[in-house]
Amino acid sequence: MKQEHKQGYIDVVGGSQFGDEGKGKVVDQMGEQASIGARTNGADNAGHTVDVNGKTYIMHLVPSSIINDHMISIIGNGVLINPKQLLKEIYQLRDAGLKIDAHKLMISDKAFVTFPHHKYIDVIKDSIRRHPIGTTGSGVGPAYAGQMYRTGLRVQDLFNVETLREALLDDKEEFDQYAKAFVPKLKQRVKDGKYSGSKLEDIKLFLSERIIEYYDEETGLKVDKIVEDYYKMGQELKPHVIDTRTFVLENLNLGKNVIVELAQGAGLDKDQGTYPYVTASNCGTVSVETGLGIPRKFIRNYVAVVKLVPSRVGEGPFVGEYGEYSDIRGKTRKELGLNRKDNSLILEKINNGTATPFEIGQYFRNVGVNDDKTNGGEYGATTARPRRIGMLDLTLVKEHNEKFGFTHLAFTKLDVYDGIKTIHVLVDDEHNGKKIISLPGFNNTYGKTSFKDIETNAQNFIHFISEYTGLPVNTIATGPRREQVITDYVSR
Ligand code: GDP
Ligand code: IMO
Ligand code: MG
């Protein structure tokens, strides 16, 4: 008798706003249902936080599934590999006690590599343009451009010294001219104090010898050194490098399930986001096809993560933003300051209607930071920049659902509203544009694990969003830690 064969499926987890929605936490939470976790887009511009057993892991390139013992983690061909960062991350995860070997972490042989000059071009270009984007400086734009130019190198090319050298010599000719023209311009701007963009510190680092490890003002790009170092790193990564497309497809055909962990968010999508203030990859399910090589018929769910108090890092439109970006741009956590006492004072002001927009932003940026380091704390996981904070914009979630086709929503940071009397949310205006509506606030959601245990106002808040967007709710996070999550939501 012919045996019934059950095929596996892919559940995709992605950002519904401008990144940093808490995708890492949601992926970790959904891990039990899958055997494989895969990244398919972006690079080390991403920073995904997972908080498990008292340890906080921040992953940039390694999928969050690495923390789940039973899962195999895949870095698909659509992800740009910065070998230095990847190795650093592997060492850090091993130091934290995780077992990472060739059976646990696999890297696509066809993933493109970011080289030092990609990072240099990224930083220089974004610093000297009239309207900077505020990129993470990871070199993603220039590295993906290398793929478009057909000059980029892939992970498999790291294993061949001659291929490496020839391609880098080609790049050098162009890069040296570029650097000659623009590095002095950048230096002059910094010297004149004319540059006040978000990355001044990055640029200062870049101009210091420490960062220009692979560039010399006299001789240009140090091709020999890059070849030597990158070949060596390639050898170290080699045991992990396979044809990931075939591996994933075979496993799906064996009935194994996959979780795809997208990077960034819908608003940063290179085609459908707020261009030019976007990243250089697609941040929706299309990257399962392009960045993993698996056809869409395998996709079951697309869980869009909604951070209930949204944030944005870098430049670009942010409707409902609390305060002006210019008040926080380029500042560190320390410079912005705030302690627990300030935060409870601000909460009082928020509740009696006297808090300034800047203060509201500060409150949400810092809520919980002093009593629980990882609770709240909206500072970039990749660049440590203060994140811009805004009002929950449901019109944006709706628009992104229209463009990207979510099947479920996952909420994070419900707990940061604890103690807020009135919650303001942006919805469609009947006449035109958006309007602010007020919803009653609530208390005591922090750490709750059952929907019935949160106050009626909190339940109604969740119902409202689900009904407004027409999407079912998959999970509701009530704190940064793995166990702080509600999974038994039932719609009314
Ligand atoms: P990602 O890039 O989408 O994975 O998100 P990030 O890790 O960059 O940022 C999300 C931040 O929110 C991290 O600091 C998480 O620890 C934190 N976080 C996630 N879910 C919750 C939650 O429900 N409550 C609180 N307080 N923090 C959360
Ligand atoms: P995760 O996966 C938030 C933003 C940058 C900048 C713009 C372009 O952690 O959600 P890039 O370096 O990609 O060329 O920068 O995109 N950006 C992110 N913002 N979360 C991210 O990733 C981001 N990755 C890129 O701040 O505005
Ligand atoms: Mg992040």
CB 46 near ligand 2, within 6 Å: yes
Q: How confident is the model at residue 123 (pLDDT cuts 50, 70, 90)?
A: confident
For Cα atoms 25, 30, 33, give the angle at the middle one, nearest 5 degrees.
160
Same domain, 94 and 129: no
CB 19 near ligand 2, within 6 Å: yes
Q: How confident is the model at residue 366 (pLDDT cuts 50, 70, 90)?
A: confident
pLDDT given for residue 379 in this prediction: 84
Same domain, 122 and 229: yes
pLDDT digits (tens, 9 = 90+) for 26-53: 999 999 889 999 999 999 999 999 999 9
**Which stretch of 153-162, 210-219, 230-239 has the lowest confidence by average pLDDT?**
210-219
For the entire predicted model, the pTM comes to 0.95
Contact yes or no for 390/321 (Cβ under 8 A)? yes
Cα-to-centroid distance, 20 and ligand 1 (Å): 7
CATH of the domain at 23: 3.40.440.10
Same domain, 104 and 125: no
Boundary of a domain, candidates 212, 233, 254: 233
Contact yes or no for 215/120 (Cβ under 8 A)? yes
Beta strand 258-261 pairing with 36-39: parallel
Boundary of a domain, candidates 233, 257, 280: 233
Q: Indicate which atom in ligand 1 lies nearest the CA of residue 484.
A: 23
How far is it, in rounded angstroms, from Cα 65 to Cα 73? 6
How far is it, in rounded angstroms, from Cα 373 to Cα 359? 20
Same domain, 292 and 341: no
Same domain, 35 and 98: yes
- Ligand of minimum distance to the alpha carbon of 45: 2
Nearest to 105 by CA among 143, 76, 140, 82: 76
CB 471 near ligand 2, within 6 Å: no
Name the residue range of residue 214's domain. 116-233
CB 283 near ligand 2, within 6 Å: no
Domain contains 294:
yes
pLDDT digits (tens, 9 = 90+) for 296-339: 999 999 999 999 999 999 999 999 999 999 999 878 777 887 66
Domain contains 165:
yes
Q: Indicate which atom in ligand 1 lies nearest the CA of residue 24.
A: 4
How far is it, in rounded angstroms, from Cα 181 to Cα 274? 30
Beta strand 485-486 pairing with 473-477: antiparallel
Same domain, 69 and 25: yes
CB 14 near ligand 1, within 6 Å: no
How far is it, in rounded angstroms, from Cα 185 to Cα 124? 9
**How many structural domains does the chain have?**
3
Same domain, 356 and 294: no
Q: Is 60 labeled as catalytic in the residue annotation?
A: no
CB 45 near ligand 2, within 6 Å: yes
The pair phi, psi for residue 348, each rounded to 5°, is -60, -45
Same domain, 129 and 196: yes
Selecting among 11, 20, 171, 202, the annotated active-site residue is 20
Residue 228: is its pLDDT beyond 80? yes
pLDDT given for residue 375 in this prediction: 47
Domain contains 55:
yes
Neighbour-count burial for 410-423, b at 16+ CB within 10 Å, e otherwise = bbbbbbbbbbbeeb
Same domain, 339 and 292: no
Domain contains 426:
no
What mean pLDDT, rounded, does the chain reach?
92
* CA distance from start to end of the chain: 45
Question: In the chain, how long is the greatest CA-to-CA distance?
Answer: 80
Token code pair at residue 61: 């390139």
Contact yes or no for 389/309 (Cβ under 8 A)? yes
Domain contains 277:
yes
CB 24 near ligand 2, within 6 Å: no
pLDDT given for residue 111 in this prediction: 98
Query: Measured in whole angstroms, how far is the alpha carbon of residue 105 from the centre of its chain?
Result: 20
Same domain, 83 and 30: yes
CATH of the domain at 191: 1.10.300.10
Contact yes or no for 24/261 (Cβ under 8 A)? yes
pLDDT digits (tens, 9 = 90+) for 258-296: 999 999 999 999 999 999 999 999 999 999 999 999 999
- Ligand of minimum distance to the alpha carbon of 262: 2
Token code pair at residue 490: 């039932």
pLDDT digits (tens, 9 = 90+) for 412-449: 999 999 999 999 999 999 888 999 999 999 999 999 99
- Ligand of minimum distance to the alpha carbon of 21: 1
pLDDT digits (tens, 9 = 90+) for 76-110: 999 999 999 999 999 999 999 999 999 999 999 99
Domain contains 406:
no
**Neighbouring residues of the ion ligand 3, judged by CB less than 5 Å:** 20, 47, 381
Cα-to-centroid distance, 175 and ligand 3 (Å): 30
- Describe the crossing of helices 394-404 and 456-469 by its angle, rounded to 10 degrees: 40
How far is it, in rounded angstroms, from Cα 312 to Cα 305? 14
How far is it, in rounded angstroms, from Cα 237 to Cα 316? 36
Boundary of a domain, candidates 389, 410, 445: 389
Domain contains 451:
no
pLDDT given for residue 288 in this prediction: 98
Same domain, 163 and 207: yes
**Which stretch of 115-124, 227-236, 267-276 has the lowest confidence by average pLDDT?**
115-124
pLDDT given for residue 247 in this prediction: 98
Residue 4: is its pLDDT beyond 80? no
Cα-to-centroid distance, 5 and ligand 3 (Å): 38
- Four-CA torsion 347, 353, 355, 360, nearest 10 degrees: 60
Domain contains 272:
yes
Nearest to 229 by CA among 318, 113, 323, 326: 113
Same domain, 172 and 145: yes
To test ligand 2's pocket by mutation, which of 13, 313, 318, 379 has the most ligand atoms within 8 angstroms of CB? 313
